[in-house]
Chains A and B, each alone.
Chain A
Amino acid sequence: MFKEVKALILKDLKLEWRQKYALNGILLYVISTVFLCYLSFKHVDPITWLTLFWIIMLFTSVNAVAKSFLQESKGRMLYYYSISSSQSVIISKLIYNILLMLVLSVICLGFYHVVMGNPLENKLLFAVALILGSSGLASSFTMVSAIASKANNNTTLLAVLSFPIIIPLLVMLIAVSKNAMIGNPWMQSMDELITLLAINVIIVTVSYILFPYLWRE
């Protein structure tokens, strides 16, 4: 199982590296979205800074993660099915997408920081929020994109299915980053951090349990 997961992640990485257009496309998407926001807002107050950042992250993850299942052809899915268990497929997809989102969030934050400034006080807390946030976004979108890929590969459907599910995560993230911005002590955002962690755990566990049923054709 461990070997299967490793092989599948390596396969995804290689695929990404060979078809560079997808990766470059999503990078360019992040950068142009940030730049677009910069040009339309110019100066923002700190609260808007946070909210805007997480909204950009939300749309980045829709575009980055959505393709994880929408992209795979039916024949290739059948091939995976014959050589590996469904659990290793979902685990590998989850790990791969979480890694992808972590990289993208760092790039996004870097560029955002350059053009929009940085009102953060407690940078470490924000980094923790960023890690929990990108893994939460990545894992929820992975499962929902698997569901949407079964239903006519419709991207509108992906947004409709996932946005209401994402909202608790987003609310928690904005609350934590607000604390990070004001520089409140860590203890004050403990509740939110625990909730974020719990949401991550719930989503990953439920995906792991449910994916085999989705997969069977």
Chain B
Amino acid sequence: MKNPWWKIFTIALLLYVIIGGFLIETPKLPILHETIRNLYFHVPMWFGMIIIFTVGLVYSIKYLSNPTQENDSVAVEAVNVGILFGFLGLITGMQWAQFTWGEWWSGDPKQNASAISLLIYLAYLVLRNSMDEDQKRARISAVYNIFAYAAMIPLLFVLPRLTDSLHPGSGGNPGFNVYDLDGGMRLVFYPAVIGWTLLGIWIMELRIRLRNLNFKYLYRN
């Protein structure tokens, strides 16, 4: 392993999250019951997704000011990993929704917003694949990435606040802070956010290295 310290730290955090997440006492609440443990898996996926998409945005901006193949690799792999996290978040969320709200898909604004943002980034991948010239592809998809991110901000941060939501913290529902202030939930939740995000960055780093090696190999021959 290259630079092993933060990777060992990630593994330790995630082991702690998985073991602690399933064993540590949680508050007994109506409707939620034991599904409250999904908090350690579902919510960090969204935190991770937004952080990783933002990394992609930053590298797309960097690409436009300094067009190197490395910047483009970071941008595209950030989108790939972000989509993975998005799907995992959607699946864990749907499962949770089935147990607590009674439906897999209940038309909740946050659920819809996340599905739409996945559509946007899948469109980004389609756009990339429609061009074959490397530099043009990188530049145009960087432009779309920035444009789409700007258009998505109202979707993720404004719309759920304007309409009613089943999620905690919006539409008159109390935030999760009210529930998990008491127990050791914070002790697991914050490490979970850090751990899952670091895992995403780890996957991203491996894929970027692979992509850069592919490029080097391609241009040597």
- Interface residues, chain A, CB within 8 Å of chain B? 140, 143-144, 147, 150-152, 154, 157, 160-161, 163-165, 167-168, 171-172, 175, 191-192, 195, 198-199, 202-203, 206-207, 210, 213-214, 216-217
* Contact yes or no, B120 A147, CB < 8 A: no
Which residues of the partner chain A approach B162 to less than 8 Å between Cβ atoms? 175, 191-192, 195
Bound-complex Cα distance A179 to B111 (A): 24
Does B187 have its Cβ within 8 Å of any Cβ on chain A? Answer: no
- The 8 A-B residue pairs whose C-beta atoms are closest, nearest first, are A164-B119, A165-B151, A164-B120, A168-B155, A206-B150, A151-B130, A160-B123, A168-B154
Q: Which of A143, A151, A168 contacts B147 (CB 8 A)?
A: A143
CB-CB under 8 A for A150 and B126, given A140-B151, A202-B153: no
Stretch at the interface among B137-145, B191-199, B212-220: B137-145
In the complex, the answer to whether B140 meets A168 with C-beta atoms within 8 Å is no
Is B154's CB under 8 angstroms from A147's CB?
no
Which residue of chain A is the closest to B63 with respect to CB atoms? A213
B contact residues around A172 at 8 Å (CB): 159
Q: Name the one of A152, A171, A203 contacting B131, with C-beta atoms under 8 angstroms.
A: A152
Name the one of B117, B123, B143, B159 contacting A171, with C-beta atoms under 8 angstroms.
Answer: B159
Report A66 CB to chain B, min CB distance, Å. Answer: 15
Contact of B143 among A198, A202, A213 (CB under 8 A): A213
| Chain B positions near chain A (C-beta within 8 angstroms) | 64, 116-117, 119-120, 123, 126-127, 130-131, 136, 139-140, 142-144, 146-148, 150-155, 158-159, 162-163
Residues of A close to B131: CB separation below 8 A: 150-152
**B22 vs chain A, min Cβ distance (A):** 36
User: Would A151 and B140 count as touching, CB distance under 8 A?
Assistant: yes
Choose one: B116, B140, B144, B150; the contact of A167 (CB below 8 Å): B116
Chain B residues contacting A195 (CB-CB under 8 Å) are 154, 158-159, 162
Q: How far is the CB of B144 from chain A (nearest CB, A)?
A: 5
Chain A nearest CB, measured from B142 CB (Å): 8
Q: Do residues A206 and B147 form an inter-chain contact, with CB atoms below 8 A? A: yes
> If A160-B123, A161-B123 touch, does A152 touch B150 (CB 8 Å cutoff)?
no
Q: Would B154 and A161 count as touching, CB distance under 8 A? A: no
Chain A residues near B151 (CB-CB < 8 A): 140, 165, 168, 199, 202-203, 206
Nearest CB to that of B159 among chain A residues? A168
Give min CB distance, B68 to chain A, whole Å: 15
**A203 CB contact (under 8 Å) in B116, B144, B150:** B150
Q: Are B130 and A154 in contact (CB under 8 A)?
A: yes
Query: In the complex the two chains form, is B126's CB within 8 Å of A199's CB?
Result: no
B64 pairs with A150, CB closer than 8 A = no
Query: In this complex, what residue of B is CB-closest to A210?
Result: B143
A199 touches B154 (CB 8 A): yes
* B-side contacts of A191, CB under 8 Å: 162
Chain B residue at minimal CB-CB distance from A192: B162
In contact, B146 and A206 (Cβ under 8 angstroms): yes
CB of B147 within 8 A of CB of A207, answer yes
**18 chain-A/chain-B pairs, Cβ below 8 angstroms:** A147-B144, A150-B131, A151-B140, A161-B123, A161-B127, A161-B144, A164-B120, A164-B123, A164-B148, A165-B120, A165-B148, A168-B154, A171-B159, A195-B158, A202-B150, A206-B151, A213-B139, A214-B143
Kindly state the separation between the CA atoms of A167 and B154 in the bound complex, as whole angstroms: 10
Provided the pairs A147-B147, A151-B130, A152-B130 are in contact, do residues A202 and B154 lie with their beta carbons within 8 angstroms? yes
Choice from A150, A165, A199, A207 contacting B140 with Cβ under 8 Å: A150
Judge whether B139 and A151 touch: CB under 8 Å.
no
